[in-house]
Amino acid sequence: MTGRDYIDELILRLARHDVSTDMNTPSLLTFINRARQRVQKATMPLYPERYGKIFRFSVGGPIGSNGFLTLQLPIDFLDVFVILLEWRASSNVTYRTEARRTDAREISSVVEHSWNGPSEWTPVYTIQRPINSSPPFVTDYYYNCLISLGANGQAFLDNVTNVVAEIVYTSALDDLELDDDDETIPVDVEELVIYYAMLLSLQRSQEEIAVQSVQAEINMLMELFKTTYDVGKAKETVLLPSKEGED
């Protein structure tokens, strides 16, 4: 659906509740975008992959005084699924490995660990969000924790070329314009967006009875999503009966 489609449907639904709106198009579009944000917040714990993106970039840049390499994250970053590293060794063979996430408070201990420390096969990273700093950033220890790996005690990145990081992450929704096609919100969730937009519109016009009715519809839809999620999870763990002992 485009922004115009959402607005047309919103006006139609409000009319069904005998509510006429004199709000202009920009105001209605604002309600639509706020509704999309609420829907993402409500459904992301159930279906985080629906809001996923992939961000690829070359690993490089200056090393901080503490030996850490700090990499800027995308502006719409919310949380990370996985970080993959791909590099080419001196043998011209391309390798790919998954980085291991660790808590920022424990990163120093992890780096210095005698047998569980990071390596080129199990690099580590942490996500930090400093106060009054935007956007968040990811601190990776490719330089610091991989020291003395490789031939003759050289640092890891001295022996490899073309190191690329691939971050699979959940992203915040961009605001929808009138003619934009909403390609992020799944079709089965668009109905929930419309109901949340109705709720915001009705709250503004103080239509208390209609607000309660729409809130009940939202609760019913969310219960349906949660039930569908629980059924899907249950199917993943169902064990089929064994045929052992049958003639």
Strands 124-128 and 100-101: parallel
**CB contact burial 178-198 (16+ within 10 A = b; e otherwise):** eeeebebbeeebbebbbbbbb
Which of the four pLDDT bands, split at 50, 70 and 90, describes residue 33?
very high
pLDDT at position 145 = 36
pTM score, whole prediction: 0.70
Q: Which residue has the tokens 């709106």?
A: 21
Phi-psi region of 33 (alpha: psi -120 to 50; beta: other; left: phi over 0): alpha
Q: Which comes out higher in pLDDT, residue 89 or 139?
A: 89
Pick the closest to residue 135 from 70, 83, 62, 76 (CA basis): 76
Give the contacts of 61 (CB within 8 A, at least 6 positions apart): 69, 70, 71
